Amino acid sequence: MYLKKLTSPSAPNLNNIRLITLNQLKIDKKKLGEGEFATVYAAKLILGDNSDKKFPVAAKILRHSIEYVRF
């Protein structure tokens, strides 16, 4: 058996990152997961002027609480 060492890629390519607005995101009430700092919900990303282009995505909602701030 031969094992190939995995190496981390170089810096990530950030050229294809797209900022979205809250108007483009419809967050469902279906909770997918929960952690100490955030909850993940099922959501739909709406692209274009018409709302027929909807893509399933996950939306991570961070909790806003001073108790999570660590110094």
Where is the binding site for ATP, in residues?
60
Counted residue by residue, the chain has a size of 71
Please list the residues that pair with 22 across neighbouring strands.
none
Angular region, 48: left φ>0, alpha ψ -120 to 50, beta rest? left
Pairwise CA distance, residues 41 & 43, whole Å: 6
Residues annotated in the binding site, as ranges? Answer: 60
